[in-house]
Amino acid sequence: MSNFNILLNSAKKEHEKGNFLGAKILYIRLLEFEPNNPDINHFLGVIYSHLNDKQNAYFYLKKSIEIAPNNIYFYTNLAKLLMLDDKTKQAIQLLIEAIEKNPDSAETCFNLANIFKMNNNYHKAIDYYKKAIQINPNYADAYNNMGLCQAEYWRSKDAFESFKKVLELNPNYPNAKRMYHVLEDKLVDEERIINKYKTSNIFSKFEYNFDENEIIADYLTLLKKCLSDTLRIDEESVEFEKVNEGGIIISFLAETMIGIKRLNNLHYCIVETIKNNIAGDLIETGVWKGGATILMRAVLKAYNIKDKLVWLADSFEGLPMPNTELYPADTNSIWHNMKIFNVSIDDVKNNFRNYGLLDDQVKFLKGWFKDTLPTAPIEKISVLRLDGDMYESTMDAMKNLYPKLSIGGYVIIDDWGIIPNCNQAITDYRKLHNIQEKIEFIDFSGIYWKKEVDI
């Protein structure tokens, strides 16, 4: 055996034992024999990464790629180092380049998808998991992670099919059977709820114009299609019907998940308060990407209303941990674990900016409702829209804002039909204050009523 191979075997043994300093010395000696050996440069880069010497780690990992640009493992380890160094964009770009040079690498597609998943960019994650599966149809890990992304984004049917495939490939895959049955039950519940409350009303599709001015009507219809990303979806299709009923998000690019009927209802309520000169601002508690509030601002702009503000109340960091002592109804709440709701205030502002609607009439209340709503500088409200998903969030909004709702104004509850905690909070608040106004159904989940008497 040559001196080179003896040294290489010794270096690998020290590396495997975790003796990184010893391995480093041996790898450096090996480079004296073969300075352009891609594997040695790669191993040395990995060793320096373990030793937290980032400068040398980057140098040798990059050099290994320069020498052997078709070795996917070199890209993978450099991407890992970039991720550890909080250089996510560089890691993504590196793996994209790796895929361009190695288009048949399912593992590289999978690794890139995982980075997108970690950063809540689910639509791109799913795209790359699909590419990995196209290359390797038996890639159970890719099906599993894709299913998790789909479930996180309420694509229950797609997620169900992904976990079904995982179990076909590996019946003992960790946690896959549980996810399969959870999603199976969820699909049954969703279908039952949608069928129970499915109605044809003035909020269905885009058949009813709430605006007398045709130009305004066309503008706001176009805006709602853009917000729900249904501009190119056939209104007679099954997919559109699901969006109409608020049962599914067609696109990850949508700025709202409330569906067509609830968008139309919000449009209707705002126009009614304008026509009837109802005083007060507009507010949504729990805004996600800002879609509903973008519509609020658009309606005000279309009607040239300059004496009303649009308020966005949100933590812009997701939902709070349940306070089970004060609100036992939230005991089993899992909303705080769902990263999909972690949309930053800057991202929401950018969404407003993209529609040309970010101006002085748009105001932000950043923080937990229990902290921001009691002291919110709002005198009167004409349209109050609640989308808090929890008992606590719903009750905080009702307690602090409903008394400010003007007579003739509207309160809209997004989650009444599908989230029991939210339903219970509304039921309790109405009972406590003897609210008798009739509840009107929008779709399978949303309700609203017009305030007729003060409490």
* Mean pLDDT within 235-256: 68
The pLDDT assigned to 255 comes to 92
Residue 297: pLDDT band with limits 50, 70, 90: very high
Residue 224: pLDDT band with limits 50, 70, 90: very high
The pLDDT assigned to 179 comes to 92
The pLDDT assigned to 256 comes to 92
* Mean pLDDT within 343-369: 97
pLDDT of 333 above 80: no
pLDDT of 189 above 80: no
The pLDDT assigned to 319 comes to 85
The pLDDT assigned to 3 comes to 80
Residue 199: pLDDT band with limits 50, 70, 90: low
Residue pair 242/185 in contact by the 8 Å Cβ criterion: no
Residue pair 83/77 in contact by the 8 Å Cβ criterion: no
The pLDDT assigned to 168 comes to 96
d(CA 57, CA 41): 9
Candidate from 84-93, 98-107, 136-145, 244-253 with smallest mean pLDDT: 244-253
* Mean pLDDT within 425-445: 95
Average model confidence (pLDDT) for the chain? 90
Residue pair 165/173 in contact by the 8 Å Cβ criterion: no
Residue 37: pLDDT band with limits 50, 70, 90: very high
* Mean pLDDT within 341-359: 96
pLDDT of 197 above 60: no
pLDDT of 142 above 60: yes
- Residue 287, CB-side half-sphere exposure with 13 Å CA sphere: 37
Contact partners, residue 383, CB within 8 Å, separation at least 6? 266, 269, 270, 273, 280, 282, 283, 296, 409, 410, 412
Q: Quick one: which of 442, 445, 439 has its CA closest to 417?
A: 445
Residue 127 identity (one-letter amino acid): D
Give the strand order in the sheet containing 281-285. Answer: 362-366, 310-314, 281-285, 381-386, 405-413, 447-450, 440-441
pLDDT of 250 above 60: no
Residue 230: pLDDT band with limits 50, 70, 90: confident
The pLDDT assigned to 316 comes to 95
- Residue 33, CB-side half-sphere exposure with 13 Å CA sphere: 15
* Mean pLDDT within 96-118: 93
The pLDDT assigned to 194 comes to 61
Residue pLDDT, tens place only, 306-315: 999 999 999 9
Phi, psi of 131 (to 5 degrees): -65, -40
Of the ranges 59-63, 69-73, 89-93, 400-404, the best mean pLDDT one: 400-404
pLDDT of 236 above 70: no
pLDDT of 242 above 70: no
**Which domains does the chain possess?**
3-148 (1.25.40.10), 258-450 (3.40.50.150)
How many helices (DSSP H) and strands (DSSP E) are in the chain? 19, 7
Residue 40 identity (one-letter amino acid): I
Q: What angle do CA 59, 62, 65 make, to 5 degrees?
A: 150
pLDDT of 247 above 60: no
Q: Quick one: which of 106, 107, 112, 110 has its CA closest to 94?
A: 112
pLDDT of 1 above 60: no
d(CA 269, CA 346): 28
* Mean pLDDT within 181-191: 81
Residue 2: pLDDT band with limits 50, 70, 90: confident
Residue 231: pLDDT band with limits 50, 70, 90: confident
* Mean pLDDT within 138-149: 96
Residue 193: pLDDT band with limits 50, 70, 90: low
Residue 440: pLDDT band with limits 50, 70, 90: very high
The pLDDT assigned to 245 comes to 64
The pLDDT assigned to 347 comes to 96
Residue pair 299/270 in contact by the 8 Å Cβ criterion: yes
Beta bridge partners of 384: 283, 411
The pLDDT assigned to 259 comes to 87
By percentage, how much of the chain surpasses pLDDT 70? 93
The pLDDT assigned to 156 comes to 80
CA-to-CA separations, 150 to 128, 290, 370, 444, in angstroms, rounded: 13, 21, 32, 22
Candidate from 137-141, 192-196, 328-332 with smallest mean pLDDT: 192-196
The pLDDT assigned to 332 comes to 76
By percentage, how much of the chain surpasses pLDDT 90? 65
The pLDDT assigned to 362 comes to 99
Query: Tokens 């180092």, residue?
Result: 81
Residue 229: pLDDT band with limits 50, 70, 90: confident
Helices (H), 102-213: 106-118, 122-135, 140-152, 156-169, 176-197
